[in-house]
């Protein structure tokens, strides 16, 4: 089994918006050399999910973990993403597309956001 990772973000008209997501993808690639990692967007930016998924399938991935880079599971994650993954599964039936919870729902991410907020409070308290 050849495993790949498909990171999925919303997208925006401002190209600078994608910088943190590009950084996430780059860090994952650096930490896991040899594992194909693709970053896809729902709208406004390229590649879209179909294109990025096809690229992973063409690289020989037979199992692709799909991680939504959303803070919560709204309509895009609960409705749009499963429909898009069903299209990918139909187009690439030899690949297993495994959808994971939105990244913002993971305990480690919630803890990191709480820590960042606490550090902000501590820094603002230090300057008084």
pLDDT tens digits, 36-55: 999 999 999 999 999 999 99
What does pLDDT average to over the chain? Answer: 94
Give tens-digit pLDDT for 86-119: 999 999 999 999 999 999 999 999 999 999 999 9
Fold (CATH) for 3-103: Rossmann fold (3.40.50)
| pLDDT above 90 for 128 | no
Cβ proximity of 4 and 38 under 8 Å: yes
- Joined together, the tokens standing for residue 101 give 């919870």
The predicted model scores a pTM of 0.91
Tell me how far CA of residue 103 lies from CA of 24, 83, 122, 128, in angstroms: 12, 19, 26, 35
Per-residue confidence band for 8, with pLDDT thresholds at 50, 70 and 90? very high
For the cut 90, the answer to whether the pLDDT of residue 76 exceeds it is no
Give the span between the Cα atoms of 101 and 70, in whole angstroms: 9
Beta strands 63-68 and 96-99 are parallel
Examine residue 79 and say whether the peptide bond preceding it is cis (omega within 30 degrees of 0). no
* The predicted structure's pLDDT at residue 60: 97
Size of the chain, expressed as the number of residues it contains: 128
CB within 8 A of 28, min separation 6: which ones?
5, 7, 35, 37
Given a cut of 90, whether residue 31 has pLDDT beyond it is yes
How confident is residue 1, by pLDDT bands cut at 50, 70 and 90? Answer: confident
Q: Which residue has the tokens 């860090």?
A: 27
Question: With 90 as the cut, is the pLDDT of residue 127 above it?
Answer: no
């Amino acid at each position: 089994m050849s495993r790949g990772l498909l990171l999925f973000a919303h997208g925006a008209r401002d190209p600078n918006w994608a910088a943190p997501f590009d950084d996430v993808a780059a860090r994952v690639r650096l930490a896991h050399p040899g594992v194909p990692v693709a970053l896809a967007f729902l709208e406004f930016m390229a590649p879209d999910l179909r294109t990025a998924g096809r690229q992973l399938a063409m690289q020989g991935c037979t199992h692709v973990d799909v991680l939504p880079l959303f803070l919560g599971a709204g309509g895009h994650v609960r409705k749009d993403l499963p429909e898009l993954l069903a299209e990918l599964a139909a187009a690439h039936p030899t690949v297993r597309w495994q959808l994971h919870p939105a990244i913002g729902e993971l305990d480690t991410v919630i803890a990191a956001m709480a820590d960042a907020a606490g550090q902000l409070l501590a820094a603002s308290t230090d300057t008084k």
